[in-house]
Amino acid sequence: MRTAVLVEPTEFQLQDRERPEPGPDDVLVAIRDVGICGSDIHYYEHGRIGDYVVDEPLVLGHESAGEVVETGENVTGITPGNRVTLEPGVPCRRCPHCKRGDYHLCEDVVFMATPPHDGSFVEYVTWPADFAYELPETVSSIEGALCEPLSVGIHACRRGDVGAGDTVLVTGGGPIGLMIVEAARAAGATNVIVTDVVPGKLGFARERGVDLAVNVTETDLEAAINEYTDGLGADVVIEASGAPPSIRSTLDVVRRGGTVVLVGLASEATVPIDVLELIDNEIDVHGSFRYKNTYDVAIDLLTDGAVDVEGIVDFQLPLDAIDDAFQRAIDPDVVKGMITIGK
Ligand SMILES: NC(=O)c1ccc[n+]([C@@H]2O[C@H](COP(=O)([O-])OP(=O)(O)OC[C@H]3O[C@@H](n4cnc5c(N)ncnc54)[C@H](O)[C@@H]3O)[C@@H](O)[C@H]2O)c1
Ligand SMILES: C[C@@H](O)[C@H](N)C(=O)O
């Protein structure tokens, strides 16, 4: 089967690998669509993300959907021909985190495209059947693949307890920021504001109907939020850029008693914050790591037409053109590139 392997930073090799056999609890999936995530781009360009180092050839890709072609003997409920999306992180199911329900915090998780685990830029993947979710006819394969970044958005909104009538500020208008916007609206937020530093990203966020888009290189964010909220501040601020100045600014723009959710992975290990400001204003600050129990919700939201994920896709290219696809995806104006396999 055709497999795109990152053999060195910025170098993919298309290899022919043996098609895997599903285990008794697995499904064998013919992969159809895979999104290119920021983490794939980071591994492609730099060969590492923090402590995760690509020191062996690695298959990237973890936002994936496809069609079941075979099932293991214990699998019920999914049959060949079903279209599915794959949740890319499979936990150990036995550790204290798994047992208390925080399976996304499992330290032994097998997460696609995170060294040393291969991902889904490949024709076939075997995956535990309970981490494969059937897609209804009305949900496309691309939407299925994008359940992954949408899940990041849903989890972040849950962490921020976003609710009806909230004013939510999302800092960073990349794919994750835009998925947070979708999830926040679906959760009932009535005012959604996005910041960025790239004019194209802000224009796109406006086209997608955000209530306010702020270029923080030109506009004082605190003044803009004060004006927009009559001096109150945003109910929930969800940081999705990872830029230290943006992380620092969250406490200036959240209302007293509000919530800050940190999603963006800081490019610096330490970002100073004013602890007294945090205490005096009784601000809740939450980290948000990947997601848990979001795939069914993502599919329901897509089925109901409550979110738009396909609209963030800039281009689709076949697996053979993976080099071109990554070169295009690096452009700061590009939001989401997709790889199509087996069509
Ligand atoms: N916590 C998690 O589970 C999780 C999951 C996925 C991604 N992430 C992280 O979330 C962040 C966003 O992911 P992405 O794929 O959308 O990344 P991205 O790089 O495509 O988007 C980040 C956006 O932030 C903008 N930006 C840069 N500096 C800014 C600033 N000072 N103020 C406002 N915006 C600024 C960029 O122009 C870009 O549009 C990344 O840091 C990524 O590593 C975290
Ligand atoms: C959650 C996922 O999208 C992210 N890129 C990660 O590896 O954590």
3-state secondary structure 262-278: ECCCCCCCCCCCCHHHH
Mean pLDDT of 333-340: 97
Instruction: Kindly state if the Cβ of 38 falls inside 6 Å of ligand 1.
Output: yes
Instruction: Kindly state if the Cβ of 156 falls inside 6 Å of ligand 2.
Output: no
pLDDT in tens, 272-298: 989 999 999 999 999 999 999 999 999
Mean pLDDT of 180-208: 98
Question: Where are the domains positioned within the chain?
Answer: 2-146+309-340, 153-287
The one-character DSSP state at 319 is: G
CATH architecture of the domain with residue range 153-287: 3-Layer(aba) Sandwich (3.40)
CATH architecture of the domain with residue range 2-146+309-340: Alpha-Beta Complex (3.90)
Rounded CA gap, 192 and 209, in Å? 9
Q: What is the dihedral of CA 186, 191, 192, 195, to 10 degrees?
A: 180
Adjacent-strand bridge partners of 294? none
Supply the ipTM of this predicted assembly: 0.99
Residue 50 has pLDDT above 90, yes or no: no
Task: Band the pLDDT of 42: cuts 50, 70, 90.
Answer: very high
Mean pLDDT of 241-256: 96
Task: Band the pLDDT of 343: cuts 50, 70, 90.
Answer: low
Check for a shared fold between 2-146+309-340 and 153-287: no
Instruction: Kindly state if the Cβ of 311 falls inside 6 Å of ligand 1.
Output: no
Instruction: Kindly state if the Cβ of 72 falls inside 6 Å of ligand 1.
Output: no
Single out the residue of 279, 245, 238 nearest to residue 259, CA to CA: 238
Q: Which two tokens stand for residue 334?
A: 């590009």
Distance 155 CA to ligand 1 centre (A): 16
Alpha helix ranges (H) inside 19-174 = 38-46, 96-99, 141-145, 147-159
Mean pLDDT of 108-115: 98
Mean pLDDT of the chain: 97
